[in-house]
């Protein structure tokens, strides 16, 4: 556990991407099997120890120490695992903290996997008694699955590829055909066996991505324009016998959307936008029938989906591209050729679950700009520009695809509550809940943001929170309602889950309005007029 805990510590405190990659690569080369395989599973979010829940961790530490001290410490530290690791007392009948390496990740996984939920806290506590603070931190992070060390699954795979001189896209090709702790993957990486063959399995292919449009215009004789839909980008991989859905990061999300997996029975790989149909309908002018992202959120991240949820939030995919059809790899074809194949392939698909993203009819770029400016459909983020002769290539390639997001909306809101961040921000109040005024003069929360500000602005905001706290609710501080924040957001939608009746999409702090009195902030009624 010591080596893994050192890796986590390094990832938390290393800011640069290359520094994080070097740490991961060194660990993958030096750690023993199968520990490094389980570590890779944890870093990529593929380790699920169902017996251990965060609530159980909290009960464990309350049994071992003063509950009030724990709550105060957690409020100050901001991270459950770090708080427990630092506060955990050694029992008198236990040996001193040793962490001599005898407790490896594989041992932890074996013990917790074979333990019932009722017995898991006891088993975890026994292991923690033999570790130092760093080891306890790593153990709790590993057990709960909430690493939050500033890396994505793709970065972890890139670090693995770097360790053995592999191409990360080659790693992605075989990744989903292999279960943790990835023995075959390491054998191939170290030259002890051939490349694992994913043939016959519905494995993930890396997505083609777009650069933000920075030019003043592009020639529409060279580029086709499509709507950029506001769902989640998915890849549908069917072998004829099995279908899986993957997110842009390569995560298997089939369990959250079994209705789509069941509806696709073909042998092909398709690229599209996953959305739901629902109460908030888009217009037929743009393709229509797409609910806002707020409706899609009801199903994201669920490992089981009830019949009621399937009925209330029926999913469908708006298709963008086709990568493979049967044994034929179409990625080298130009976009125009793939588009024609996709339109033909559509005839085989269930029209209630699949449709195709329409190409925008615009005479020139100026006309396209006018069309984009008028698009405030609930499910539209902006416009995609795709070079007509572009092949489908992994990653972002210059001058092939561009995304031209619609301009953000803004509102002046009043800070109401603040909470500490995680990782590098665990010492700062960096998560802010803000509100707008009702006609009766009540301030209602309309969103929460934790980005958009500089490091210096974060320090100023943290000082404001500490100096203007009027109440505390566990880790949350209520502040005086005097600070106005200019909030930028992509769209706003009706929501039954929030008292204000509104939910913002991608809110971020655009400006700290120290010059503006709180009484002059925007109203809930004004925001309602912006609902798509």
Q: In angstroms, rounded to a whole number, what is the distance separating the alpha carbons of residues 100 and 86?
A: 19
> The pTM is what?
0.72
Give phi and psi for 491, each to the nearest 5.
Answer: -165, 170
CATH architecture assigned to 208-405? 2-Layer Sandwich (3.30)
CB neighbour class for 288 (10 Å; exposed up to 12, middle 13-18, buried from 19): middle
Q: CA 128 from chain center: how many Å?
A: 30
Report domain extents, the chain. 2-144, 208-405, 409-528
CB atoms within 10 A of CB 511: 17
Do the beta carbons of residue 418 and residue 431 sit within 8 Å? yes
Q: Where are the alpha helices (DSSP H) in 378-500?
A: 455-467
CA angle at residue 498 from 493 to 501, to 5 degrees?
A: 50
Per-residue confidence of the chain (532 residues) as pLDDT tens digits?
Answer: 889 999 998 988 888 899 999 999 999 999 999 999 999 999 988 888 876 788 888 888 998 899 889 888 887 777 788 899 999 987 666 655 555 556 889 999 999 888 888 888 889 988 988 888 889 999 998 888 777 777 888 899 999 999 999 998 889 888 877 899 999 999 999 999 999 988 888 988 889 999 999 888 899 999 999 999 988 999 999 999 999 999 987 888 999 999 999 999 999 999 999 999 864 444 444 445 777 777 787 888 777 888 998 988 899 999 999 999 999 999 999 999 999 999 999 999 999 999 999 999 999 999 999 998 877 665 788 899 999 999 999 888 999 999 998 888 899 999 999 998 876 777 889 999 999 999 999 999 999 999 999 989 999 999 999 999 999 887 789 999 999 999 999 888 888 878 899 989 889 999 999 889 999 999 999 999 888 6
What is the Cα gyration radius of the chain? 25
Which 3 state secondary structure label does DSSP give 48? coil
- 456-463, long-range: CB within 8 Å, 24+ apart, which pairs? 457/509, 457/512, 458/425, 458/428, 458/430, 459/428, 460/512, 461/418, 461/429, 461/430, 461/432, 461/512, 462/428, 462/429, 462/430
CATH code matching the domain that covers 409-528, chosen among 2.40.50.140, 2.120.10.80, 1.10.760.10, 2.160.10.10: 2.40.50.140
For tokens 């929460």, name the residue.
Answer: 448
pLDDT in tens, 94-141: 655 555 556 889 999 999 888 888 888 889 988 988 888 889 999 998
Q: Taking the CA atoms of 403, 409, 414 and 416 in sequence, report the sign of the dihedral they define.
A: negative
DSSP state of 252: B
Q: How far is CA 241 from CA 201, 204, 259, 267, 323, in A?
A: 9, 16, 16, 8, 18
Q: Under CATH, domain 2-144 is a member of which superfamily?
A: DNA ligase, ATP-dependent, N-terminal domain (1.10.3260.10)
Q: In angstroms, rounded to a whole number, what is the distance separating the alpha carbons of residues 129 and 93?
A: 10
Of 52, 42, 176, give the one whose Cα is nearest residue 123. 52
Q: What is the pLDDT of residue 281?
A: 42
Give phi and psi for 294, each to the nearest 5.
Answer: -60, -35
Give phi and psi for 147, each to the nearest 5.
Answer: -60, -50
Q: How far is CA 97 from CA 167, 196, 278, 438, in A?
A: 41, 41, 56, 56
Q: In angstroms, rounded to a whole number, what is the distance separating the alpha carbons of residues 45 and 65?
A: 31
Pairing of strands 243-247, 409-420: unpaired
Give phi and psi for 127, each to the nearest 5.
Answer: -70, -40
Do the beta carbons of residue 409 and residue 489 sit within 8 Å? yes
Q: In angstroms, rounded to a whole number, what is the distance separating the alpha carbons of residues 97 and 456?
A: 39
CB atoms within 10 A of CB 47: 21
CA angle at residue 454 from 453 to 457, to 5 degrees?
A: 80
What does 494-532 look like in DSSP terms, one character per residue? E-SSSTTSEEEES-EEEEEETTS-GGGS-BHHHHHTT--
CB atoms within 10 A of CB 326: 9
């Amino acid at each position: 556990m010591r080596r893994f805990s050192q890796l986590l510590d390094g990832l938390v405190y290393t800011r640069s991407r290359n520094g994080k990659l070097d740490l991961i690569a060194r660990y993958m080369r030096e750690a023993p099997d199968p520990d490094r395989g389980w570590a890779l599973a944890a870093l990529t979010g593929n380790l699920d120890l169902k017996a251990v829940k965060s609530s159980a961790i909290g009960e464990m530490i309350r049994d071992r120490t003063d509950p009030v001290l724990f709550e105060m410490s957690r409020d100050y530290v901001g991270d459950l695992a770090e708080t427990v690791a630092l506060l955990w007392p050694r029992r008198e009948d236990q040996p001193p903290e040793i962490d001599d390496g005898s407790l490896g990740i594989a041992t932890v996984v074996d013990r917790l996997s074979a333990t019932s939920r009722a017995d898991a806290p006891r088993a975890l506590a026994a292991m923690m008694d033999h570790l130092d603070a760093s080891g306890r931190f790593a153990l709790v992070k590993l057990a709960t699955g909430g690493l939050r060390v500033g890396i994505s699954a793709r970065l972890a795979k890139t670090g693995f590829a770097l360790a053995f001189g592999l191409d990360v896209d080659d790693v992605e090709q075989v990744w989903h055909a292999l279960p943790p702790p990835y023995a075959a993957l390491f054998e191939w990486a170290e030259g002890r066996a051939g490349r694992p063959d994913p043939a016959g399995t519905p494995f993930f292919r890396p997505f083609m991505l777009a650069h933000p449009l920075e030019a003043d215009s592009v020639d529409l004789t060279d580029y086709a324009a499509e709507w950029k839909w506001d769902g989640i980008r998915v890849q549908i991989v069917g072998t004829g016998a099995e279908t899986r859905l993957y997110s842009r990061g390569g995560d298997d999300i089939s369990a959250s959307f079994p209705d789509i997996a069941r509806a696709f029975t073909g042998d092909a790989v398709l690229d599209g936008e996953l959305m739901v149909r629902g109460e908030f309908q888009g217009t037929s002018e743009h393709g229509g029938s797409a609910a806002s992202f707020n409706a899609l959120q009801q199903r994201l991240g669920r490992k089981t989906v009830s019949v009621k949820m399937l009925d209330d939030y029926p999913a469908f995919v708006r298709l963008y591209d086709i990568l493979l059809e049967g044994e034929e790899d179409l990625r080298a074809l130009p976009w125009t050729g793939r588009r024609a194949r996709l339109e033909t392939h559509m005839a085989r698909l269930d029209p209630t679950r699949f449709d195709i993203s329409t190409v925008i009819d615009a005479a020139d770029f100026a006309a396209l700009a006018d069309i984009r400016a008028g698009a405030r459909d609930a499910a539209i983020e902006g416009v995609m520009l795709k070079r007509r002769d572009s092949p489908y290539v992994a990653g972002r390639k210059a001058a092939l695809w561009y995304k031209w997001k619609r301009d953000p909306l803004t509102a002046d809101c009043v800070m109401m509550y603040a909470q500490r961040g995680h990782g590098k921000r665990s010492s700062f109040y960096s998560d802010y809940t803000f509100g707008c005024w009702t006609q009766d003069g009540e301030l209602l929360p309309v969103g929460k943001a934790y980005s958009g500000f500089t490091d210096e602005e974060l320090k100023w905001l943290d000082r404001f929170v500490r100096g203007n706290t009027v109440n505390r609710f566990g880790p949350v501080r209520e502040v005086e309602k005097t600070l106005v924040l200019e909030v930028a957001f992509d769209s706003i939608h009706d929501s039954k889950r929030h008292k204000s009746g509104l939910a913002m999409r991608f809110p971020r702090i655009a400006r700290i309005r120290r010059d503006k009195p709180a009484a002059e902030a925007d109203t809930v009624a004004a925001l309602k007029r912006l609902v798509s």
